[in-house]
Structure 1
Amino acid sequence: MSATEKPARRALVTGGSGDLGGAVCLRLAAQGWRTIVHANSGLDRAEAVAARIREAGGAAEAVAFDVADGEAARAAIEGLLEAGPIQCVVNNAGIHDDAPMAGMSQAQWKRVIDVSLHGFFHVTQPLLLPMARTRFGRIVSVSSVAAVLGNRGQTNYAAAKAALHGASRSLAREMASRGITVNVVAPGVIEGRMAEQAFPPEAIKQMVPAARAGRADEVAALVGFLCSDEAGYINGQVIGINGGMG
């Protein structure tokens, strides 16, 4: 590295080994971020995404920990911070465990909220002060149209994701003076294993004004823009990407 060349900024993407998370990782790496691909337990899948990034000329590494486990997450984050600040975090980790609330177990309720909401805190909180010292940061959380419109069988998922909206708007106010933006993207029906299992093609045509599912790369493009220098004045926003659903 030359004396004038800056080291690459580092980005952490939770749930980076999945369909959407993988697309986000590839996008950020293409924009020049040194990307940390996170998985819950399947480190091999995260390693595969990191390998694709490296093959394309980018820089990436893989890491695995449970975002719902506060101690494990903090230990992993502290280890990553030994190499320097992480100036971008995309909170993409989330799970479904659907049921009508009348028949929902306490375990179903708590686990979904543990991953999406408590995971947001466990991962983001330790990154804030090192990020603030650099006077630049990008925090993007992936929510869902279910958090905006509601969806039958997903009171737990909608509650967890809607909580990210309030948390992100509040955190944006806390960190804006340090050059840090905090935003949320709320996708609708996006192509991938989850959509294929939940929605037949005919149902998608009826539900979505655009008459199709979105693509992971379309969501990744929005996330990539929010993480760019050009998006520095977009802060505390929840941005839908749902083909016109609402």
Structure 2
Amino acid sequence: MRLRDKVAVVTGASGAIGQAICVRLAGEGALVAATDVDQERAAQVLAAVEAGQGKGYALGLDVTSTASVQCAMQEVLKRSGRIDILVNNAGGSAGLRQELTDFKDAREEVWQWVLNLNLAGTMRCTQAVLAGMIEQKAGRIINIASIAAEVGIKQRSDYAAAKAGIISFSKTLAMEVGAYGITVNCISPGLIARNVTAKTTDQELKSNGTYLGRCGRPAEIAAAVAYFASEEAGYITGANLTVDGGRVLGPKASQ
């Protein structure tokens, strides 16, 4: 087990990717704090972790609230004594508010909401754990970005900007904390099969340029997270790993 005796915090645990990350890290031996704004759903994730013989606990955590973030991280420290791994997975687009729109019709309130959830949420959680990682001279910070940061996505300019900000933030932070034995890396998923994309058609896959001819699986994102969290990735920092079936290579030629 690559992560035996490590303590991992995962935000946004109740989504398909978040749950897969929690289950995978626990399967690698980590004690997982599955956190989510919806604590009941986080508890369901914990049940999945325990069904796989993993260990952990569920906590409520709203990444848009500094007080909530600090309270949750303090609870992890109280229960487990330290935080070795932080996975900033919480996020989402204006689609969560049914407010997807072209930029010409965008509302500043929605932009601020998306930036607060994605970019500022990542900042809050990272800042809350950083002092402890610096003190222990070790840590893994893994931020879930998106290929939207590189290729864009219609009607989600706010989301693409937020995810691009996460990548730039991660690179800069990696420069600042490397001397303390802390690595900071990003993972940029492409089209992943989960509730919102489960009915994606073959034609939609082709139009999205997925060269492998399928959606990605949450477990494939979780595998990348587990790698970055492990000692095997100890000499990697400031990286952004794209897991997208080749989408960023550009439009797929018609067959």
**Equivalent in the alignment of 1:193:** 195
**Equivalent in the alignment of 1:204:** 205
Q: 2:4, 2:28 within 8 Å by CA — same for their partners in 1? A: no
**Equivalent in the alignment of 1:23:** 20
Alignment partner of 1:82: what SS?
A: helix
**Equivalent in the alignment of 1:142:** 144
1:13 aligned to 2:10?
A: yes
**Equivalent in the alignment of 2:238:** 236
Q: Higher mean Cα deviation, 79-88 or 134-143?
A: 79-88
Q: Higher mean Cα deviation, 159-168 or 126-135?
A: 126-135
Distance (Å, rounded) in 2 between the aligned partners of 1:205 and 1:216: 20
Q: 2:183, 2:238 within 8 Å by CA — same for their partners in 1? A: yes
Distance (Å, rounded) in 2 between the aligned partners of 1:205 and 1:218: 20
**Equivalent in the alignment of 2:251:** none
**Offset at residue 196 of structure 1 (A):** 3.7
Give 1:38-53 correspondences, 5 Å limit: 38-40=35-37, 42-53=38-49
Alignment partner of 1:152: what SS?
A: coil
| Deviation string, structure 1 residues 73-127 (Cα, Å, up to 9, x no partner) | 1222222222311110000000111221111112211111101111011111021
Give 1:30-179 correspondences, 5 Å limit: 30-40=27-37, 42-83=38-79, 84-97=81-94, 98-179=100-181
Amino acid at match of 2:137: R
**Equivalent in the alignment of 1:3:** none
Distance (Å, rounded) in 1 between the aligned partners of 2:55 and 2:238: 29
Q: 1:51, 1:60 within 8 Å by CA — same for their partners in 2? A: no
Distance (Å, rounded) in 2 between the aligned partners of 1:86 and 1:243: 32
Q: 1:66, 1:72 within 8 Å by CA — same for their partners in 2? A: yes
Q: Higher mean Cα deviation, 202-211 or 154-163?
A: 202-211
Distance (Å, rounded) in 1 between the aligned partners of 2:142 and 2:196: 21
Alignment partner of 2:196: what SS?
A: helix
Distance (Å, rounded) in 2 between the aligned partners of 1:190 and 1:121: 24
**Offset at residue 7 of structure 1 (A):** 8.0
Distance (Å, rounded) in 2 between the aligned partners of 1:29 and 1:173: 29
Alignment partner of 1:193: what SS?
A: coil
Distance (Å, rounded) in 2 between the aligned partners of 1:244 and 1:56: 31
Q: Higher mean Cα deviation, 226-235 or 170-179?
A: 170-179
Give 1:210-229 correspondences, 5 Å limit: 210-229=212-231
Distance (Å, rounded) in 2 between the aligned partners of 1:77 and 1:27: 21
| Deviation string, structure 1 residues 9-51 (Cα, Å, up to 9, x no partner) | 11001001110000000110011110011111x2121111112
* TM-score w.r.t. length of structure 2: 0.90
Alignment partner of 2:111: what SS?
A: helix
**Offset at residue 201 of structure 1 (A):** 3.6
Distance (Å, rounded) in 2 between the aligned partners of 1:136 and 1:230: 14
| Deviation string, structure 1 residues 39-72 (Cα, Å, up to 9, x no partner) | 11x2121111112212322111001121011122
Alignment partner of 2:41: what SS?
A: helix
Alignment partner of 1:171: what SS?
A: helix
Change (3 A) 1:96 1:201: farther
* TM-score w.r.t. length of structure 1: 0.93
RMSD across aligned C-alpha pairs, in angstroms? 1.6
Distance (Å, rounded) in 1 between the aligned partners of 2:55 and 2:142: 20
